[in-house]
Amino acid sequence: MTGPMTGALADFRGRHESAAHNSGWTTLPFFRDGGAERVAQAVDARLAEGARLVPPPEQVFAALTLTPLERVRVVVLGQDPYPTVGDAHGLAFSYVGARRLPPSLKTILAECAQNGARVAPGRGDLSGWARQGVLLLNTALTAEAGKAGAHLKLGWARLVDDAVAAVSATRPHVVFLLWGEKARARASLVDRDKHLVLEAGHPSPLNRHRDFLGCGHFAKANAWLEGHGLGGIDWSV
């Protein structure tokens, strides 16, 4: 089956399977053993049935494109894209919609401000983080308009597992920010002898424990990176 998602996958491969990227994301088992094709075909099948994809196909792999494997310094794991058309653009938690910020992102940015970052009111685009080496990767890279979680079982989770394992194995001194039960479950994939794993509750207001605010993760991440001579992240938005 050929469709928008399989086309986006082919384009991603074409741009990243070059000599300059021969140790990058496309070397992951997910892209080598047919897993990516199976997910793309499943997404295209939903589109053929009339579903509307979020984000649009050309933005699905934005997290991997903006943050190549060889530049990863921090990993942040989300769940799946915002289900309103125009809100998501391929980066976990990042928001480019026209309405007020989503509650989880608002909480994240409040913690950033507490850690000394400059946060402009109403701004939610985290592309600046991604360009500095912050991998903002969702557990599912796609969803459907009006249907949060619609693609969580399509096979995207294998990509996340492969990506976390690859970062752990190949990168030096990365900070893994694992927020919420699903993200924290991947802590076992990380080599704690060389990386820093920081865990907290999910920033969502539905988290009844309210154990995200005050975690200090952004300041702790920069202290770790700077302590290893890697330079901190400018968390300003």
Query: Which residues are part of the catalytic machinery?
Result: 80
Which amino acid would we find at residue 161? Answer: D
How long a stretch of residues is the chain? 237
- As a whole number of Å, the CA-based R_g of the chain is 17
CA dihedral 76, 154, 57, 37 (to 10 degrees): 110
CA dist., res. 106 & res. 96, Å (int): 13
Is residue 68 reached through a cis peptide bond, with omega within 30 degrees of 0 on the bond before it? no
Sort 110 into a burial class: Cβ within 10 Å, 0-12 / 13-18 / 19+: middle
Of 202, 160, 162, the C-alpha closest to 178 is 202
Tell me the two tokens of residue 52.
Answer: 């509307």
